[in-house]
Chain A
Amino acid sequence: MWQIFQPEELVGKLWHRWADRRLRTPHFPSEKVTFESFQKSLGVCFRGFGGESGMSIAGTAPKASGHRRSLLDRFGSHGDRTSNAFLNRQGVRLPNAIDLFPHR
């Protein structure tokens, strides 16, 4: 109750909680889909849609994200760790696992 009388602290706490909630991406571990279980069919699709046959398709582990965080993001305490899909000369890299969707 007496927090009311310490406005800076209250505002700081609320702010932190709000920013953090906006930032944190929900995860659904029970609905996790692994790259490994799809590796072969993904390769078939990749080539069937015109991908070069010599290219490798592999998983990538999450990395601390290098993207610039917005002003809002910088207030949150969580550093982002993301798995990015990308294509380079060696081949296609896809996240080792995705658990961002509520249903598989």
Chain B
Amino acid sequence: MDVATVGTTVDENLPYYLPNGDECVVFEAAFRHQLPLLLKGPTGCGKTRFVAHMAARMGRPLYTVSCHDDLTAADLTGRFLLKGGETIWSDGPLTRAVREGAICYLDEIVEARKDVTVVLHPLSDDRRVLPLERTGEAITAPSTFMLVASYNPGYQNVLKSLKPSTRQRFLAITFDFPPAESEVKIVSAESGLPLEKCRSLVDLGWRFRALKNQDLDEGASTRLLVYCATLIRSGIPPINAIHSALIEPLSDDDDVKAGLMEIARATIG
């Protein structure tokens, strides 16, 4: 093995991730230069899997936080807890990641409350410091700490977009559904269903994606294609698998579902 490639070779035991562009190279450069990274893209297109894969490749532990509208800065940094009459400080996942020099992944960052950005700002620019207001501590992040965040630009409303001062602290990569040939390989690898059978599912997936914004809010994700292939692999008739994995999850409208079913019958045969 070439010494220069150590650290970038893909090990069999890593979480499986098939690259679609230069995202692995960009991630690695960001990691090495201690720059935070923002991943944008639709649901189920591989963002979380990519981070799991890259964290393993960089040999760092991964802390994932799914942000939601009740998530406060204290949920990330930590809080004092009452234990046997004593109050003890307990680190939140972000603080733990900073102390350990791990990778912290904030999923759907735009969902988080505004006060979260206050703790992220000094950590995500060149200061790389996490201030813990409650304890007065300011932790300097070690060189192996990395902040990764994701969001889906599709269904965010104007109020919930990231402030420029936050966005402009991150490098960013746009994710989309993989090109058909790659997606066939992914769906097959994840489900164990033979490639030829996955090909027609991916074809159907792209037909459904063409309906985004007019008939559907979101097209069929790679995740749903994997679910569908998994059902077929387990012996469920394809049309039933499609109904449960690709049609019902996409729409509640009976007419739209009937249309999708017709497309499925014609595509799958």
A and B together in one complex: yes
Chain A interfacial positions (CB closer than 8 Å to B)? 39-45, 47-50, 53
* Pick from A40, A49, A50, A53: contact of B256, CB under 8 Å: A40
The listed residue with most B CB atoms (<10 A of its CB), out of A48, A49, A50, is A48
Q: Which residues of B contact A45 (CB under 8 A)?
A: 259, 262-263
| Distance A41 CA – B265 CA, assembled complex (angstroms) | 14
Q: Which residues of A contact B213 (CB under 8 A)?
A: 53
Q: Which residues of A contact B13 (CB under 8 A)?
A: none
A49 and B266 within 8 A (CB): yes
| Distance A45 CA – B260 CA, assembled complex (angstroms) | 7
Q: Which residues of B contact A40 (CB under 8 A)?
A: 253, 255-256, 259
B210 and A48 within 8 A (CB): yes
B218 → chain A, closest Cβ, in Å?
Answer: 15
A48 and B208 within 8 A (CB): yes
Q: List 27 A-B contacts (CB under 8 A).
A: A40-B255, A40-B256, A40-B259, A41-B255, A42-B259, A43-B215, A43-B259, A44-B215, A44-B255, A44-B256, A44-B258, A44-B259, A44-B263, A45-B263, A47-B210, A47-B211, A48-B208, A48-B210, A48-B211, A48-B259, A48-B260, A48-B262, A49-B207, A49-B263, A50-B207, A50-B210, A53-B214
Query: How many residues of chain B are within 8 Å of chain A by beta carbon?
Result: 16
Q: Which residues of A contact B214 (CB under 8 A)?
A: 47, 53
Which residue on chain B has the smallest CB distance to residue A46? B259
B210 → chain A, closest Cβ, in Å?
Answer: 6
Q: Which residues of A contact B266 (CB under 8 A)?
A: 49
Chain B interfacial positions (CB closer than 8 Å to A)? 207-208, 210-211, 213-215, 253, 255-256, 258-260, 262-263, 266
| Distance A74 CA – B24 CA, assembled complex (angstroms) | 74
Which residue on chain A has the smallest CB distance to residue B215? A44
B262 and A41 within 8 A (CB): yes
| Distance A45 CA – B207 CA, assembled complex (angstroms) | 9
| Distance A32 CA – B107 CA, assembled complex (angstroms) | 52
A41 and B258 within 8 A (CB): yes
| Distance A47 CA – B253 CA, assembled complex (angstroms) | 16
Q: Which residues of A contact B263 (CB under 8 A)?
A: 44-45, 48-49
Q: Which residues of B contact A43 (CB under 8 A)?
A: 215, 259
Q: Which residues of B contact A42 (CB under 8 A)?
A: 259
3 A-B pairs with least C-beta separation? A44-B259, A40-B255, A41-B259
Which residue on chain B has the smallest CB distance to residue A40? B255
Supply 14 further A-B pairs (C-beta < 8 A) apart from A41-B262, A48-B263. Answer: A42-B259, A44-B211, A44-B255, A44-B259, A45-B259, A45-B262, A48-B208, A48-B210, A48-B260, A49-B263, A50-B207, A50-B210, A53-B210, A53-B214
